[in-house]
Structure formats: C-alpha cells, structure tokens
Structure 1
Amino acid sequence: MTAIALELKNLGVRFGGFRAVDGVSLQVTEGELRVLLGANGAGKTTLMDLISGKTRSTQGQVLLRGKDITNWPEYRVARAGIGRKFQIPSVFRELTVRQNLCVAATREPSILRNLRWGFGRAEQSGVDEILALVGLQDLQHRQAADLSHGQTQWLELGLLTAQKPQVILLDEPTAGMTQAETRKTAQILMALRGRQTILVVEHDMAFVRDIAERITVLHLGKVLAEGSVAEIERDPKVRQAYLGSHGIAAPC
C-alpha cells in the first residue's frame, strides 16, 4: 500500500462569516502529482496557505507523513518538509544559477560562508543533476538576475528540489509563460513525478491535461469532485460549476 505523504482532514478557515475553505479532506500519496482545479474564489490558494502555515485554520488538520502540523508557524512547516513556490519567483538574483542551487542544496544557513568555503563533491553532483533536470546546464554561470521569466521559474523549481522537501506546493507555475515555456515546465514536472510529492494549483487546462494523474476540483471552498482527467471531464457537477461543455482541453 502506497504511503500517504499529505493528508487534510476536514480542513477549513472562516474569515468573519465567510468560509473560504469549508471542510476539505484529501490524501496525496508519496510521489503523486495532484492538481487542484477550480474557478477563481474556489479556495485553491487559501488551501495552499493553510497547508504551508501562512494562514491559520479554524477547523480540521494537516498531516505530513502522519505528523500533525496544523497551524504551525510558516518557518516550522517549511523545516518539517513543505516546500512552496509562489507565482512570483524568489531567487538570489545577485548569484549565478549554480550558486543559487549550491546554497539551496547545503544545510549551512549562511550564504556568505557557503560561497567562501565552497561545496562538497556530493553537493556538486546533486547540483549537476538538478541543472540537467530543469534544463539550465548552459546557463549555470549566468547571474540569476539576467534570466528570462521562464528560466527564473525553472531555477526556483530547482531550488525547491535541492532542498529535498517531502511535499512541494506549486501555485500556478506557468503564469506568464509562453507556450514553449509551459511545455518545458510540464516536462520538468513529469520528470519529478514519482520522486517528489507535488500539489499544483493551475488554470492552464492544456497544462493540466499534460501533467495530471489525479485532480481535485474545489468549488466554493469545498471538494466538488476528485478523479482522473477523464473522470473529471465526465462529471456533470464539474461541467456545470467550472468546465462548461468543452472539457479540460478548453482554454481557461
């Protein structure tokens, strides 16, 4: 039986009289790539905020490999093994691509000490692997500030991977990307599938079709449906609330 990496039990948050997330329960297994789908206001980003500790829940639990991390401070959630990538990338712009990954791969908290003392052979080998994964080998000595939008997003994916989190949360990773960049991002996530547990919020329906193993659809803060791409497309409740008559292949 596959182990459960991330489990939500009746998770919810109320802002005044408004239930932004209302009793959400789901299980994401080890190595799974799960997509969260839903219209604007469905509660997707708020759910990510609850998991990562950015927002405190008013009901329910968040379990990371069985450990209750509900309402832990954001830094403790990150240390426990939840890595999150936001729509706006956060990298060390003054460092090169390779230096960014080296800093992320080491446990030494001081950036200056890392750069002064250098990195071990095992860390360098791991950085080489991540550079290949995100397709930035030819740009490894370029300053991060000089990267394109898509390249910066791939670097941040690499930074998350280098930190070896137990679960990665991605909030609209293809926002602002060209079609070619979106396709490459799909390839990167497919390469990560099975070795990382990933939860993705995304609006690009073609991208969802390319990467999704299992989809959870949120509507008005609740789980509306869950299943494969084909099952979600056939679900009449999902069509009525979100997809319309064209299915997941339709542009959003």
Structure 2
Amino acid sequence: MMAAALTLDGLGVDFSGFKAVSGVSTVVEDGELRVLLGANGAGKTTLMDLVSGRTASTEGRVFLFDQEITNREEHIIARAGLGRKFQLPSIFKELTIRRNLEVASCPSRGVFANLGFGFPKSSRDRVDEVLELTGLTDLAEGIAANLSHGQTQWLELGLLIVQNPKVLLLDEPTAGMTAGETQKTAQIINGLKGRHTVIVVEHDMAFVREIAERITVLHLGQIIAEGNMAAIEMNEKVREAYLGSGGIH
C-alpha cells in the first residue's frame, strides 16, 4: 500500500463570511503527480496557500505524510518537506545559474558553506542532475539575469527541486510561456514523476493533458470531481461548471 504524501481533511477558509475554500478532502499518494484544475476564482491558489501556511485555515486539517502541519508557519512547513514555486520567480540574478543552484542546495546555511567551503560532492552531483533535468546544463556558467522568461522559470523550478522537498506545489508553472517552453516544462515535470510528489495548479488544458495522472477539479472553493483525464472530460458536473467559461478545451 502506498503512503499518503499529503492529506487534506475538510480543509477550508472563511474570509468574513465568504468561503473561498470549503470542506476540501483529498489524499495525494507518495510519488503521485496531481493536477488541481479550475477556472479563475475556483479557489486553487487559496487552497495552496492553506496547505503551505501562507493563509490560516478556519476549518479542517493538513497532514504531510504522518505529520500534521495545519496552520503552522511557512518556514516550519517548508522544513518538514513541502516546497512551493510561485508564478513570479525569485532568483539571484547577479549569480550564475550553477551558483544559484549551489546556494539553494547547500545543506548548511552558514556563510562559509555558501561561499563554497565544504560543498560536498553529493551536492555538486545533485546540482548537475538538476541542471540536466531543467535543460540548463549548457547555460550553467551564464548569469541568471540573461535568461529568457521560460528559462528563468526552469531555474526557479530547479532551485526548488535541488532542495529535495518531499512534496512540490507548482502554481501555474507555464504562465506567460510560449508553446515550445510549455512543452518543455511538461517534459521537466514528467521527469519528476515517482521521485517527488508533485501538485500542479493549472487551467491550461493542453498542458494538463501532457502531465496529468490524476486530476482534482475545484469549483467555487469545493471539489466537484476527481479522477483521470478521461473521467474528468466525461464528468457532467465539470462540463456544467465550465460552460460559462467556454467549456474545457
């Protein structure tokens, strides 16, 4: 039996009478790639805020493996093994791509360690592996400020992966990307399957088709369907919910 990496039990938040997320319960298995799908305003990002500690919930509980992380501080949740990538990247623009990854991967947060003293071979190997996975090996010695939008997003994803979180939350990872960049992002995320538990918040259906194993559909802050791509596309509730926004494409 597979272990549950992330368990949401009746999770919700009430903002002065407005239930942005209400009674959300789901279990994401260890190593699973889950897509959280919904139109704008469905509550996807708010739900990720509740899981990652950015917003305090007013109902329900969150478990990371067997550890309860409900309403803990963000840095404590991160230390427990939950990593999150936001839409806007935060990289060290003046450093090289490799240096960015080295700083992020440093097992010791001390200044000397970050300057390269005692940087273990295992960490160097991990950096090389992440450069390969994100397709940035040939650019490794270049300055991060010179990267394109898509490359910057891949570096940001790399900064998260190199820290080896147990669960990764990716918030609309293809926002603003070209079709080619979106396709490559799908390849990168597919490369994480099985090694990490990944939850992707998205509304680009073409992208979702490329990566989805299991999909959870949110509408007005509640789960209305869960299943594989075929089941979601056939689901009447999903079709009704999406009719107003032009249906699922």
Give distance in 2, aligned partners of 1:224 and 1:34.
15
1:127 maps to 127
Which residue identity does 2:154 align to in structure 1?
Answer: W
| TM-score normalised by the chain length of structure 2 | 0.96
CA distance in 2 between counterparts of 1:70 and 1:111 reads 32
Moved more, 169-178 or 239-248: 239-248
What's the secondary structure of 2:41's corresponding residue?
coil
Q: Distance in 2 between matches of 1:158 and 1:112?
A: 23
Match of 1:8 in 2: 8
User: In structure 2, what residue type is equivalent to 1:239?
Assistant: R
Q: Does the aligned pair in 2 maintain the 1:103–1:111 contact within 8 Å?
A: no
Structure 1 segments of 4+ aligned residues over 4 angstroms from their partners: 243-248
Match of 2:51 in 1: 51
What residue number does 2:202 align with?
Answer: 202
The letter of the residue matching 2:228 is: S
Identity fraction in percent: 64
Q: How does 1:126-205 map to 2 (within 5 A)?
A: 126-205=126-205
1:30 is matched with 30
2:227 matched to which residue of 1? 227
Secondary structure of 1:87's aligned partner: coil
Structure 1 length-normalised TM: 0.95
Task: Note if contact 1:239-1:245 (Cα within 8 Å) is conserved in structure 2.
Answer: no
CA shift for structure 1 position 201: 0.5
Amino acid at match of 2:68: D
The unaligned stretches of length 5 or more in structure 1 are none
Going from structure 1 to structure 2, the CA distance change for 1:247 and 1:195 (only over 3 Å counts) comes to farther
CA distance in 2, matches of 1:171, 1:178: 17
Q: Structure 1, residues 162-199: CA drift from partner, whole Å, max 9, x if none?
A: 10101000000000000000000000000101111001
One-letter amino acid of the counterpart of residue 84, structure 2: R
Q: Which runs of 5+ in 2 are unaligned?
A: none
Q: 1:245 to 1:48 in 2, by over 3 A?
A: closer
Aligned mates of 2:54, 2:245 — CA distance in 1: 36
